[in-house]
């Protein structure tokens, strides 16, 4: 019996759908159920109460860390992508082009290990400053806390955002930008007032993706900073390893879902309002 | 990665089985050095003495979670005829649970070296009776490491340490409770010192009302933390000591000596076991109830706990304290190796201030109390 067009289409998407169902939907609903299940097997908000009682500070800490990392990543990416598109010194542009993608190929755990020795009080960075005479040894401070986490995240995510942004900027109509330059606008003004508004959606997509990625990283907070306060991923791992307590860990997971869902909603809303104004 | 390791071991196992008559599968919870100990040292020695036997060493990951994985595996295979593991190396928390669940075999009466062990840890594992089911592989201990150039007289007790940290802000560092067991041990030591009766926490029985007595201790620890540095992990504390960023911090004694031997810690670092003491823990050798190679497994453990192996492997190579009573090692070890182990912490200090961890329910109460009252 020959397959109809419709059946063929269904057959083609079946493997992908099965994969999503088995590897995402099933574990998702499993962890949702576990988060809302009490020790006696019935429905309970106990895990959430416990999660909030023990980790409310860490929830706030996680949000602050991830948001400020996103903000800094966005800024850095705009500077890099702007220089690549509008830069006039070809040596600077060439060097930057060759260098900026490197962190993309370095895993989070390796970046964290490097930062551990780089940012320490008597680490590579401070020692370099001291030996250059820029700083007294006594002024050295350790960055192995929230600042270290942000530095690692920004270093790791900037190239990703810059890559998407530079691509979007390159596909803009050069004529508008050059018109701006001809009328006497500085390059900074062309970037901020002409180029960036046109690539805002792409920048936002890149930042939302970075937000979700950073929310899920375990190695960086674990290796770079001490554990008080720390990010939710570390708390989840600790809940399971120290107490075998999956339901509170899952409650923390649900809180993380909600945070990333928040980012997705902001993005979708913005996308829709743009659609409607068009 | 772990799955890959397991898969590789499994592949190696399948490839090896037709060649040799018997395979002994040893699963170790713990850091890589524990897996290497069996793979590179104990395994080859056993294979030499038992021609035709192949020892396969598998690691299940560090900390209590590694033991948890062994427990889950044995539990899952409860219904089958044999288990995949013949010898397991496990932590205290899991050992009590496994004995309770009937997953382990009683074997120590069948091996001679059992007579060489008299320590409490061989009978009582965090409140659970495990006598007959386990042999201690080694005893590990936490202590305060300090930079002898920066402070001449280290604090003798936790009370002195509290004052010292106040006068020397940001000179004491530990890794909290989420970054490894040396920080957990420090917190347990703090509760032993300021939380009432330490003996009750170690021996039980469990009384849920006991934790109410720790409120002041936790409040003081929160205050103490303001002057302390929270380091990233067991290795993080050692790193910061090495770079001179902190002057003192809790460490595992074996890690301390190994790092010093590798030149990763300067020779001016010393150890101190402050009163009333800090916890240490043994790792246990045990045989699963459904092991297919019960006899071989017993012989393997007998070799591993023999005085010569304990002297050469455990003490000299890996800087652990012996699992069997130390007096049985006399004459098996040169004086230098022996002295090195007891330079800073004398046997008297050890017998007075080396404590076990609290029994499991108190242990969890301490961790959760810390999360609630100190960290959040």
**Which of B176, B225, B372 has the CB atom closest to A53's CB atom?**
B372
Average pLDDT over residues B34-61: 91
Q: Which residues pair with B145 in a beta bridge?
A: B249, B271
**Which of A55, A117, A222 has the CB atom closest to B376's CB atom?**
A55
The Cα B69–Cα B98 span in angstroms is 12
Nearest-CA distance from B275 to chain A in Å? 26
The Cα B44–Cα B300 span in angstroms is 11
Q: Which residues contact A44 (CB under 8 A, 6 or more apart)?
A: A36, A37, A38
More confident residue, B119 or B103: B103
Domain residue ranges in chain B: 2-139+281-341, 140-280+343-375
Domain residue ranges in chain A: 44-273
Q: Is B133 left (phi over 0), alpha (psi -120 to 50) or beta?
A: alpha
Give, in order, the Cα–Cα distances in Å from B238 to each of A113, B45, B55, B62, B190: 15, 33, 34, 18, 20
**Which of A54, A117, A123 has the CB atom closest to B372's CB atom?**
A54
pTM: 0.82
CATH number of the domain at B140-280+343-375, please? 3.40.190.10
**Which of A120, A235, A241 has the CB atom closest to B243's CB atom?**
A120
Q: Beta strand pairing status for B354-355 and B278-286?
A: parallel
- Predicted local confidence at residue B10, as pLDDT: 54
User: Which fold would CATH assign to domain B2-139+281-341?
Assistant: D-Maltodextrin-Binding Protein; domain 2 (3.40.190)
Within 8 A of A234 by CB-CB distance, chain B residues are 178
User: Which fold would CATH assign to domain A44-273?
Assistant: MetI-like fold (1.10.3720)
Average pLDDT over residues A123-131: 90
Lowest mean pLDDT among A16-30, A129-143, B140-154: A129-143
Question: In chain A, which residue's Cα lies nearest the Cα of B375?
Answer: A228
- Predicted local confidence at residue B17, as pLDDT: 47
Average pLDDT over residues B345-369: 87
More confident residue, A184 or A72: A72
Choose among B163, B376, B114: nearest CA to A59: B376
- Predicted local confidence at residue B16, as pLDDT: 47
- Predicted local confidence at residue B204, as pLDDT: 78
Percentage of chain A lying above the pLDDT 90 cut: 53
- CB pair distance less than 8 Å for B245 and A121: yes
Query: Testing the interface with B: which of A242, A243, A248, A252 to mutate, by most B Cβ within 10 A?
Result: A242
- Predicted local confidence at residue A6, as pLDDT: 87
Q: Does residue B325 carry a pLDDT above 90?
A: no
- CB pair distance less than 8 Å for A227 and B175: yes
Query: Testing the interface with A: which of B63, B179, B362 to mutate, by most A Cβ within 10 A?
Result: B179
Residue A111's pLDDT band (cuts 50, 70, 90): very high
Average pLDDT over residues B97-109: 92
Choose among A88, A66, A63, A56: nearest CA to A181: A88
The Cα B217–Cα B192 span in angstroms is 9
Q: Does residue A25 carry a pLDDT above 70?
A: yes
Average pLDDT, chain A: 89
The Cα A251–Cα B216 span in angstroms is 30
- Predicted local confidence at residue B367, as pLDDT: 92
The two structure tokens encoding residue B135: 């042999």
Q: Beta strand pairing status for B22-28 and B53-59?
A: parallel
> Which ranges of A244-277 does DSSP label H, i.e. alpha helix?
246-277
- Predicted local confidence at residue A69, as pLDDT: 96
The Cα A214–Cα A155 span in angstroms is 12
Interface residues of B toward A, Cβ cutoff 8 Å, are 63-65, 68, 175-179, 183, 225, 229-233, 236, 239-240, 243-245, 364, 367-368, 371-372, 374-376
Within 8 A of B176 by CB-CB distance, chain A residues are 226-228
Within 8 A of B65 by CB-CB distance, chain A residues are 240-241
- Asked if the bond preceding B87 is cis, omega within 30° of 0, the reply is no
The Cα B262–Cα A152 span in angstroms is 29
For the stretch A149-159, pLDDT in tens is: 999 999 999 99
Lowest mean pLDDT among A122-126, A254-258, B61-65: B61-65
Residue B228's pLDDT band (cuts 50, 70, 90): very high
Lowest mean pLDDT among A84-93, A235-244, B8-17, B339-348: B8-17
8-state DSSP, A192: I
Q: Does residue B101 carry a pLDDT above 50?
A: yes
The Cα B142–Cα B277 span in angstroms is 9
- Predicted local confidence at residue A269, as pLDDT: 79
Residue B127's pLDDT band (cuts 50, 70, 90): confident
Query: Testing the interface with B: which of A115, A227, A231, A252 to mutate, by most B Cβ within 10 A?
Result: A227
Residue B8's pLDDT band (cuts 50, 70, 90): low
- Asked if the bond preceding B276 is cis, omega within 30° of 0, the reply is yes
**Which of A116, A123, A228 has the CB atom closest to B375's CB atom?**
A228
The two structure tokens encoding residue B297: 């497994």
- Predicted local confidence at residue A1, as pLDDT: 55
Residue A4's pLDDT band (cuts 50, 70, 90): confident
Within 8 A of A227 by CB-CB distance, chain B residues are 175-179, 183, 230, 232, 375
Residue B31's pLDDT band (cuts 50, 70, 90): confident
- B94 in Cβ contact with B284 (< 8 Å): no
Integer Rg of chain B from CA: 21
SS3 string, chain B, reads CHHHHHHHHHHHHHHHCCCCCEEEEEEECCCHHHHHHHHHHHHHHHHHHCCCEEEEEEECCCHHHHHHHHHHHHHHCCCCCCCCCCEEEECHHHHHHHHHCCCECCCHHHCHHHHHCCCHHHCEECCEECCCCCEEEEEEEEEEEEECCCCCCCCCEHHHHHHHHHHCCCCEEECCCCCCHHHHHHHHHHHHHHCCCHHHHHHCCCCHHHHHHHHHHHHHHHHHHHCEEECCCHHHHHHHHHCCCCCEEEEEHHHHHHHHHCCCCCCCEEEECCECCEEEEEEEEECECCCCCHHHHHHHHHHHCCHHHHHHHHHHHCCCEECCCHHHHCCCCCHHHHHHHCCCCCHHHHHHHEECCCCHHHHHHHHHHHHHHHHC
For the stretch B251-309, pLDDT in tens is: 999 889 888 888 999 999 999 999 899 999 899 999 999 998 899 999 999 999 999 99
Size of interface A-B (CB pairs under 8 A): 84
Nearest-CA distance from B301 to chain A in Å? 28
Residue B19's pLDDT band (cuts 50, 70, 90): very low
The Cα B248–Cα B130 span in angstroms is 36
Average pLDDT over residues B195-210: 86
The Cα B206–Cα A261 span in angstroms is 43
Q: Does residue A94 carry a pLDDT above 50?
A: yes
For the stretch B327-345, pLDDT in tens is: 888 788 888 877 877 888 8
- Predicted local confidence at residue A277, as pLDDT: 59
Q: At what angle do helices B234-242 and B253-261 cross, to 10 degrees?
A: 50
Residue B7's pLDDT band (cuts 50, 70, 90): low
Give, in order, the Cα–Cα distances in Å from A32 to each of A256, A257, B190: 12, 10, 37
Average pLDDT, chain B: 87
Nearest-CA distance from A123 to chain B in Å? 8
- The HSE-up count of residue A37 (CA atoms within 13 Å, CB side) is 14
Within 8 A of A229 by CB-CB distance, chain B residues are 375-376
Within 8 A of B366 by CB-CB distance, chain A residues are none
- The HSE-up count of residue B187 (CA atoms within 13 Å, CB side) is 31
Lowest mean pLDDT among A96-100, A273-277, B78-82, B287-291: A273-277
């Amino acid at each position: 019996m020959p397959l109809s067009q419709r059946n063929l289409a269904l057959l083609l998407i079946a493997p992908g759908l099965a994969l999503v169902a088995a590897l995402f939907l099933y574990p998702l609903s499993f962890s949702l159920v576990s988060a809302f299940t009490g020790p006696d097997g019935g429905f309970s908000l106990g895990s959430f109460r416990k999660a909030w009682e023990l980790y409310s500070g860490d929830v706030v800490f996680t949000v602050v860390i991830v948001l400020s990392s996103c903000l800094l990543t966005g800024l850095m990416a705009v500077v890099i992508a702007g220089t690549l598109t509008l830069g006039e010194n070809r040596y600077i542009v060439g060097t930057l082009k060759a260098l900026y993608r490197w962190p993309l190929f370095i895993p989070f755990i390796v970046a964290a290990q490097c930062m551990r020795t780089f940012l320490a009080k008597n680490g590579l960075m401070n020692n370099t400053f001291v030996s250059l005479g820029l700083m007294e040894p006594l002024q050295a401070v350790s960055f192995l806390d929230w600042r270290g986490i942000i530095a690692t995240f920004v270093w790791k995510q900037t190239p990703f955002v810059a890559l998407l942004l530079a691509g979007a900027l390159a596909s803009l109509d050069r004529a508008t930008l050059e018109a701006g330059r001809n009328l006497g606008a500085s390059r900074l003004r062309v970037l901020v007032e002409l180029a960036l508004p046109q690539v805002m959606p792409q920048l936002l997509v890149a930042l939302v993706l970075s937000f979700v990625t950073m929310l899920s990283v375990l190695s960086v907070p674990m290796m770079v900073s001490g554990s008080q306060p720390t990010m939710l991923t570390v708390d989840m791992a600790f809940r399971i390893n120290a107490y075998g307590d999956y339901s509170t860990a899952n409650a923390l997971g649900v809180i993380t879902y909600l945070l990333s869902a928040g980012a997705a909603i902001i993005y979708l809303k913005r996308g829709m309002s743009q659609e409607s104004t068009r | 990665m772990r799955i890959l390791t397991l898969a590789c071991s499994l592949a190696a196992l399948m490839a090896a089985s037709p060649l040799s008559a018997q395979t002994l599968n040893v699963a170790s919870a713990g850091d890589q050095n524990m897996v290497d100990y069996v793979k590179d040292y104990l395994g080859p020695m056993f294979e030499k003495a038992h021609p035709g036997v192949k020892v396969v060493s598998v690691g299940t990951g560090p900390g209590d979670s590694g033991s948890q994985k062994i427990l889950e595996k044995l539990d899952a295979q409860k219904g089958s005829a044999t288990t995949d593991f013949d010898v397991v190396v496990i932590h205290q928390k899991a050992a009590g649970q496994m004995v309770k669940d009937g997953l382990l075999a009683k074997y120590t009466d069948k091996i001679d070296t059992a007579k060489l062990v008299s320590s409490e840890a061989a009978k009582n594992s965090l409140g659970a009776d495990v006598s007959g089911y386990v042999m201690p592989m080694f005893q590990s201990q936490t202590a305060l490491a300090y930079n002898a150039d920066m402070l001449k007289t280290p604090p003798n007790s936790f009370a002195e340490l509290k004052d010292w940290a106040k006068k020397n802000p940001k000179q004491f560092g530990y890794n909290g409770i989420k970054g490894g067991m040396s920080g957990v041990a420090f917190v347990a030591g703090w509760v032993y010192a300021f939380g009432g009766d330490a003996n009750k926490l170690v021996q039980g029985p469990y009384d849920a009302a006991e934790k109410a007595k720790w409120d002041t201790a936790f409040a003081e620890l929160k205050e103490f933390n303001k002057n302390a540095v929270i380091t990233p992990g067991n290795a993080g504390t050692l790193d910061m000591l090495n770079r001179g960023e902190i002057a003192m911090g809790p460490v595992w004694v074996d890690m301390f000596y190994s790092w010093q031997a590798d030149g990763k810690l300067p020779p001016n670092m010393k150890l101190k076991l402050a009163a009333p003491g800090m916890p240490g823990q043994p790792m246990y050798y045990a045989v699963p109830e459904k092991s297919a190679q019960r006899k071989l497994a017993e012989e393997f453990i007998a070799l591993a706990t023999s005085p010569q192996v304990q002297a050469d492997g455990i003490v000299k190579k890996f800087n652990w304290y012996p699992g069997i009573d130390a007096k049985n090692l006399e004459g098996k070890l040169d004086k230098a190796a022996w002295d090195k182990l007891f330079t800073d912490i004398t046997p008297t200090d050890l017998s007075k201030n080396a404590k076990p961890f609290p029994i499991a329910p108190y242990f969890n109460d301490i961790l959760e109390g810390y999360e609630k009252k100190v960290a959040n």
